[in-house]
Every structure is written in structure tokens, then in C-alpha cells.
Structure 1
Amino acid sequence: MIRPAIVADSGPLISLAIIGQLDLLRQLYQRVLVPPAVWHEVTVKGLGMPGAQAVAQLSWLEIRKPEQQVLQPLSILVDPGEAEAIALAQTIADSIVLLDDSQARRVAERFHIPRIGTLGILRKAKKQGLIAVIRPHVEYLRANNIYMAENLVEAVLRDVGEWN
């Protein structure tokens, strides 16, 4: 099922920017939303850091504030950007939240919110023929100090026929 909207957290946006693959989000989803805390974290607090300029220039990215009553219980469980992303995904029909942080993913799961991570986006893009390979992207992210669990990397690479 193709979901019409994805709500992104900062980590995956930065990761996709580092490998020059932000446009995959627009190719895979009808709408790409970010909450204000994520926008601020990436483009203001992260000014001069990897991904800041690339994300700031995305004309197709929608900045949307989550409802306060939905956000409140999440704020004590995860950081502000993750809380806003999860809260926003809760209120947008047929959306999925883009998270890499394991604690945030567990919280989204507890609230029955569909989730995907950077590796999931790359896997989906390869399966749809949008990219040819995943392994070089994984290696480049690791070289840029982006952590990915080895068992998850192995599972994704095996699934797409890139594990040797």
C-alpha cells in the first residue's frame, strides 16, 4: 500500500541529505511533512552541518505543527523533534513516520503508528527501481558517523540481494 504522506524526523532527513537522496521521499510519497521542531533542529540549530542547506532548499517539504493534546504525552518519552513527528503522524490519515532512533520507533509502535527508517526508504527505493544499489550508501553513511545496527543492515542487504 502506498501511503500518501510521510512525516520525517531529523536523523533520516540528514542521512538522506548526506547521500544525496532526499528526493526519494518525494518520489515514494505524495506528501512529505516535517514538524517545526524537526525543521528547526536541521536547518537552524544544524546550520552549517550536513543536510541543513539541502533540507532548507526543499520546496516540496511541508512544515506542519502537530496538535498540542496529541503531542503532550509523547514529549516525556522522546526528544522534541521525534515527539512532534510521531504526534503529527498520529493525526494524518494513512501516514507513516520516518524515524531511525530505536526508542522513538518503540514509542511509535506503542501508539500503533506505522514507521520506516532510512534503510527502509533505501530498500523501498531499490525495490521500485529508483536506485540501483544500497550498499555504497550504507558505507558512505557509516564513513560519516551515522550509526546503523549491523543486524538491520545485513537484513536489508540480504533482502535486496546485496549481502555477500
Structure 2
Amino acid sequence: MADRRWFVNASPLILLGKVEQIELLRAMAGQIAVPGAVIQEVSAKPDGARTIQILGALEPAIIVDDEVPPANILSWDLGAGETQVISYAVAHAADRVVIDDLAARRCAKAMGLAIIGTLGIIGRAKVAGLIDCAGPVIQRLRETGLYASDEIVQRLLREVGEVGESLEISRDC
């Protein structure tokens, strides 16, 4: 199940840290790479130091130096973290980038990168048996700042078997 190398942006780290699910990254990726710009962004958050500490404890996690972004990525005018994640992933053949920002996801797709976001991690974790239920984790993520439309959440919950076609939530969760 584990892809070899994932390059992770700030929002998934922050959100997964807030809901105490950051270890899912370790369970799914052979190696986690985080650019310095992302570390700076996470560190600036009120609970960022705790997230960085947890990240440091994840054995395959490495902090990588920032890249000089190529013009084709700079032209997307993304944030520093997103720019670095995508630049590093392109330069170092990432198996996947972990990004939530829609514009950054579009850029990553244009660069030919495989993408997963925070919700995708939760969905994969449920399917792999790493968490019992995705719904409660997604609810906590939304309460701590994840924006995801009801439609996207319902689709994911349906895909992992927690919501039927009638949108009734499974009693197992």
C-alpha cells in the first residue's frame, strides 16, 4: 500500500496534527519529505511546534532544502509551501504530493504529479483499516479548519461504505 515518496504541504500536516492523525502519513508513505518553506509555515501556527515535534518522530520523515522553483511553477503564483512541494516533487520524482489547495492541485496535475489531499488520506486510511471510521475524523477536520463541500464529503463517505445512496450514515460508525 505504501507509495515510496510523498512530498507534503503545510495544510495536511497542520490539519492531521490537530486531529491527532499525522501518523497516517507514516503508515501510507515509505518516505515523507517536507520542504523548509513548509516547516516555516507550520511553525508559524499556534500549535505548529507540536506538529513539527510529531513530524520529527515519524521515522521516514525528512526535511529537505528548498528548491529554486522553475518558471513554469512560479507562473502559477502559489504560496511558498505549495511552490516548494511541487518544485521538489518534480525535481526529485515524487510518487505523490500531499496538497489540499485547489490551485496547487491544478498545478501539480499540470506537472504530471500524483496528488492526494487530507480527505484522500482519511479515505485511504479507512479502506486500509488504519482507522475504523472516516466520518468522525472528517467532522473533526472540518471543525479545525478543513474546507470541504458536503458533496465531496458525502462522496468520500459513500466510497468507503459509511454512507449509503440515501445518504444515511452507517450505524457501524
Q: Same fold (TM over 0.5)?
A: yes
Within-5 A mapping of 1:46-125 = 46=45, 49-59=46-56, 60=59, 61-68=61-68, 70-77=69-76, 78-125=78-125
The answer to whether the Cα contact below 8 Å between 2:82 and 2:99 also exists between their aligned partners in 1 is: yes
Aligned-pair RMSD on alpha carbons?
1.7
Please state how far the C-alpha of 1:139 moved relative to its aligned partner.
1.0
Structure 1 gaps of 5+ residues are: none
Q: Structure 2 CA distance, aligned partners of 1:64 and 1:80?
A: 14
Give 1:62's aligned amino acid.
I
- Shift >6 Å, 4+ stretches: none
Is 1:23 equivalent to 2:23 in the alignment?
yes
Please state how far the C-alpha of 1:90 moved relative to its aligned partner.
1.1
Q: Structure 1 CA distance, aligned partners of 2:70 and 2:81?
A: 11
- TM, length-normalised to structure 2: 0.85
* CA distance 1:72–1:57, change in 2 (3 Å): farther
Rg larger in 1 or in 2? 2
> Between Structure 1 and Structure 2, how many residues are aligned?
160
Mean alpha-carbon deviation: is it higher for 7-16 or for 59-68? Answer: 59-68
Q: Structure 2 CA distance, aligned partners of 1:40 and 1:93?
A: 23
Give 1:108's aligned amino acid.
A
1:30-76, Cα deviation, whole Å (9 max, x unpaired): 10010110011001x22xx23431223423321112432x4443234
The answer to whether the Cα contact below 8 Å between 1:18 and 1:51 also exists between their aligned partners in 2 is: no
* CA distance 1:57–1:143, change in 2 (3 Å): closer
- TM, length-normalised to structure 1: 0.89
